[in-house]
Structure formats: C-alpha cells, structure tokens
Structure 1
Amino acid sequence: MSVAESTRLVDLVQERIDEFLEERAPQLSAIAEEIDDFVGTSRDLLSGGKRFRALFCYWGWQAVSTPGVGFDVVDEAPERDLPAIVTAAAALEVFHAAALVHDDIMDNSDTRRGRPAAHKRFEALHGENGWLGNPRSFGGSAALLLGDLLLGWSDEIFDTALRSLTDPAASAAGRAEFNRMRTEVTVGQYLDIVEENAWRNHPESELLPRSHRVIVYKSAKYSVESPLAIGAALGGGTAEQTAALRAFGLPLGIAYQLRDDLLGVFGDPEVTGKPAGDDLREGKRTVLIALARTALPANSRALLDELLGDRDLDARQVEVLQSVIRDSGAIDRVERIITHNVGLARAALETAPLSASSRAQLTQLADTVSRRTA
C-alpha cells in the first residue's frame, strides 16, 4: 500500500477520533475536574499507531462495494457511505485502545508505544498528589475503568456509523460481526492467561496446538479477519466475498501475531516501544516458546521453564533466555510458519470475487504486517 493511500485513511480516522473526544470532553469536565485525567490519557492513547484494523476494515468494504482503484481516488468511492466506513474504522481503533489498556493491566506492562502504560500513568498521578492508599492498586483500578469507558465509546462510535449507512441489512450484518469480534477477543484473552498459569497441567503434545488456539482467538481474528469481515458486511458483501476475505484474513492474522511474538522477545526497544524481552517476563506461552521447548535438551528446557514468567528478570537473564530460544531453532521454524501463512493468504486472494484494486492493496498490506519491526 502506498504511503499516500494509507496516510489518507489514517488521517481521516484520527480526525474522527479527535472529533469524538472533543464532543465528550466537556461532558466529562462538567462532572468533575479530576476526570480530565481520563480525557488526557485517552487522547495520548488514541493518537498515532499503525491503524492496521482501520485499514483492513476500509479495504474489506472497498473489496465488495466498488471496483475503484483505491483510496488515492477516494472521491470515486460511494460517497454517501464513506463517512460511515471511516467512523466504523475509528470505532475499531477505540476498541483496540481499550483492549491495550486491559492487556497492559493483565500483563503488568510498564510501557506502551514508548510511553508509560495507562495504569502506570494513574499510579504516578496518585504518587504525585500524595493520595492515601496504594498507588499501584489505584493505577490498576483507574486504568480498568478507562478501558471500560473506551469500550463503551467504541460502541457509541460504531452505532453512529451504522445509523448513517444507507442499507439497513448491511447495518445489521456489521453489528453482528462487531459483536462476534468482541466475544472472540475477550475469550482469547482469557485463554492467554489460562495458558500462562495452567500449561503444566497439560501433556507436552498439547502445548503447541493450545498456543496456536490463543493466537487465533486473541489476535488473528481480531486484528485482521474481523476488521475485513466488518468492512465487507458494511459494504453489503456476499457470503462468497466474505468467505474469501476470511480465508485471506485468518492466516494473515496468524502471521501477524507470530511476528508480534518474535518482536516481544527479540524486538528493539527503540522501535517497539517496549522493554527487551517483555514477553519473557510476562511468561507468554506462545508458539515460539512451545516450539523451543520441543527442541531443547532437558537442562535447557528446565532453565527456560524456571526463568520464563519471572517479573524480575534482569538484562543478563533476558539475554540467556534469548540465546536458549535462538539455539533451539525455534526462530527459523516460526519464520517458516509465517511465510507459509502469508502464502495461504495470498493464494486466497488470487481467485477471490473481489475488486482488482482491493486484491492488490490487500496483498501489499500482507507484506507490511508480516514483515514489520514494531
């Protein structure tokens, strides 16, 4: 996807998010001045980002609604429904922000995109003001409420999009897809924390398929497949078109998360905005870890199991774990799985009953999300 095309959509989505926050800020300020902290944190959290979900939503819509040549000629898209699609894409980004806030609480992550995570910001606020009670407890509670507020806001924004669509059937289909996405990502998050805590209760042979299941429901569907399906639903896509987009989106979503898992262990903090080896401290039982364990000798596997999930891992211990995983050959195996899934996604587009321009743009997006460094 060209820089001009992606930048244009990202700008429109950001404008819609900013408009919504401007509308809500006076309502919150009228309640109490303390709530301004919610608005400020929301603004920071909702500024920037790669906007992949917004992009997939737009191209899911474009793929089924018009044979146009892309966002660089946006005026040729069905003008009456374009604002609704931009608004729906904005809702997905606000939903994503809510998920990040809750995810950081569960993972006890200190940073997000190079800034303090929401719960750490509220924790610092408590300390700066010398309030009573436990700063950490306050930070977690405040961030939990912020995440809940963002979830409610995402629904408000999505409802606005649905009301402005010209086709009631498309509106109903879009709502059903949005609801499905919310359910799947929530249970996917639960499966993630289950694996972190209960992995010893299952046979070794089950660890890899169970970690793959987490990828599918926590990330693959939510990050790629669902935004595509929502866009297609809003565009009145046929069952065949939606199935083709799902066939593209699910393997690409798996590749997306596998790349994320590699970055969570080996990514450059200056690029990812998170500390090196953050997933190791959090004890993520990913496909990468499952593959490493199957290839390691008993002593190295025991070391991995002993250190993984230790919140106090220092830089040297992180390096030791990185070396153990690297020596297992798991990185190469994950890279091969990524390549395989991107190939499946590309193949699904070849004969898909979608506009030619959207197939080209989705192919470029596949390369972007699977090769990213942050």
Structure 2
Amino acid sequence: VKLRVLHELTEMIVRTIEGQALDLGWVRDGRFDISVDDYLDMATHKTAFYSGATPLAAGAIIGGGSDEQIEALRAFGLHTGLAFQIQDDLLNLIGTKEAANKDFRTDITEGKRTLVAVHALSDERYHDEIEAILSSGTEDPAQLARAVEIFQETGSIDYAHAYALDLTAKAKAAIEDVSLDPHARELFLSMADFFVERLN
C-alpha cells in the first residue's frame, strides 16, 4: 500500500510540474498558438491531478478500495479538478466583489492562456487585440474590462462555463455505477456542484 501511494504521489508531482511549466512557458515564450486541447492538457496536469485525482485515488488505496473504486474516484477527481480550475479562471474575470478584492483579473495582466482566452483567440476578429492586451502586462482597469468584453462577445465565457458543467456531469457519471458509502457518494456529488457554483 505504501509503495502504491508513493507511486501515485510521485506521478502527481511530475504531472503538476509539467503542467505548471507549460502554463508559465507559454507566457514566457509569447505563445499564442495554443489550442483548447493544449489548454485542457496543461490544466489537467497542473491542477486536476493534485487537487482531485491523486488524493482520491490515494485515499481509496489506503482505504482498501477495489480497482474499480480507485479508478472511478480518480476519474471523478480528474473531471472535478479540471472544472474547478476553469471556474477559478472565470471567477478571476467576472467574480463577485469578494473575488474582485483578491487578484481580480490578474490572469489578463499575467497573460495567462486560460480556456476563455484560448477560445477567444480562435476568433479572427479579435485575435490581434486579445494578443496585444495579454502581451502588455496591463493593470489598466479599462483595458482589463475591454478584454472581458471581448471574452463575452466571442462567447468564450459561456463556452468555458458550459465546459465546466459538462465536466461535472462526467464526474458524476464516473461514480454512478460504483459501490460507495451513501454518505460519501452524497458528499462527492455536492462537491462536484460546489466547484462550478462557487462565487469566490
């Protein structure tokens, strides 16, 4: 059991570092040719393994879970972890007043290639303007608001929100037919909803 958990943690560390390196590397290298699939791969590695998949799989291993339970919980964690990251990106752009007091719209200032930004960049009408804003390091509220306006006009914010909801549905489906403690199942399902409904 110890070796299996150690293997899970080692794999998680490698994936998280790879994802973080991609995230920072795209900004450092001025990359704007990022596809939606590229983003999803990066965010899955950067966030979903350490925030969901590995902790749940490791917990199931320690708790004596079957292979079916372990893999179902891993899948649940991957889907919800990615949904959490997408919701986090959305809150950075359009969050509540509480969210606005903490790093509000800094993803734009830092030029982050979020799912919203990547989707919007695929719209040729706005590609150059988005690239200019993301490359500028601006903290000007008017420029930040303009970026969000573009994200809304391209449907990118709605796209990201819908993607997060779809991931939540997939997460729930992953544990639907697996034997779990009823209280634990209820907790998992409520967590999945919370990740995409939280406001800060």
Name the TM-score, length of structure 2 as normaliser. 0.91
Q: 2:137 aligns with which of 296, 304, 311?
A: 311
The residue correspondences of 1:198-277 to structure 2 (distance < 5 A) are 198=29, 200=31, 202=33, 207-268=35-96, 270-271=98-99, 273-277=101-105
Contact 1:292 1:325 (C-alpha < 8 Å) held by counterparts = yes
Matches within 5 A, 1:1-374: 170-198=1-29, 200=31, 202=33, 207-268=35-96, 270-271=98-99, 273-297=101-125, 300-374=126-200
Distance 1:268 1:311 in 2: 23
Counterpart of 1:347 in structure 2: which amino acid?
Answer: A
Is the 2:26–2:32 contact (alpha carbons within 8 Å) kept by the matching residues of 1? no
Counterpart-to-counterpart distance in 1, 2:42 and 2:132: 22
Counterparts of 1:267 and 1:221 in 2: how far apart (Å)?
25
Tell me, yes or no, if the aligned pair for 2:92 and 2:99 is still in contact at 8 Å: no
Superposed CA RMSD in Å reads: 1.8
Would the aligned equivalents of 1:215 and 1:254 in 2 still touch at CA under 8 Å?
yes
SS of residue paired to 1:276: coil
Shift, 1:201, TM fit: 7.2
What secondary structure is seen at the aligned counterpart in 2 of 1:350?
coil
Which structure carries more relative contact order (alpha carbon 8 Å, separation 6+)?
A: 2
Q: Residue type of the partner of 1:274?
A: K
Based on CA coordinates, which of the two structures has the bigger radius of gyration?
1
Deviations, residues 199-219 of structure 1 (Å, cap 9, x unaligned): 6474xxx52211111111001
Give the Cα separation in 1 of the matches to 2:137 and 2:121: 20
Give the paired residue count. 200
* Secondary structure of 1:325's aligned partner: helix
Supply the distance in 1 between the matched residues of 2:81 and 2:164 (Cα, whole angstroms): 10
Percent identity over paired residues: 30
Consecutive unaligned residues in structure 2, runs of 5 or more: none
- 1:177-226 CA-partner distances (Å, limit 9, x unpaired): 22222221111100111222346474xxx522111111110011111111
- The Cα of 1:305 is off from its aligned counterpart by 0.4
Q: Which runs of 4+ in 1 moved over 6 A?
A: none
| CA–CA separation in structure 1 for the residues paired with 2:101 and 2:64 | 38
* Counterpart code for 1:224: G
**Cα distance in 1 between the residues matched to 2:138 and 2:119:** 24
- Offset at residue 238 of structure 1 (A): 2.0
Q: Deviations over 1:283-309 (max 9, x none)?
A: 101111111122351xx2211100114
Instruction: State the TM-score, normalized to the length of structure 1.
Output: 0.51
The letter for the 2-side match of 1:315 is P
CA distance in 2, matches of 1:318, 1:268: 16
Pairwise CA distance, 1:275 = 3.1
Residues of 2 paired with 1:349 and 1:196: CA distance?
Answer: 36
Amino acid at match of 2:22: L
Q: 2:30 & 2:171 partners in 1: Cα distance?
A: 30
Indicate if the aligned counterparts of 2:72 and 2:178 stay in contact, CA closer than 8 A. yes
Does the Cα contact within 8 Å between 1:221 and 1:253 map onto a contact in 2? yes
Q: Any unmatched runs of 5+ in structure 1?
A: 1-169
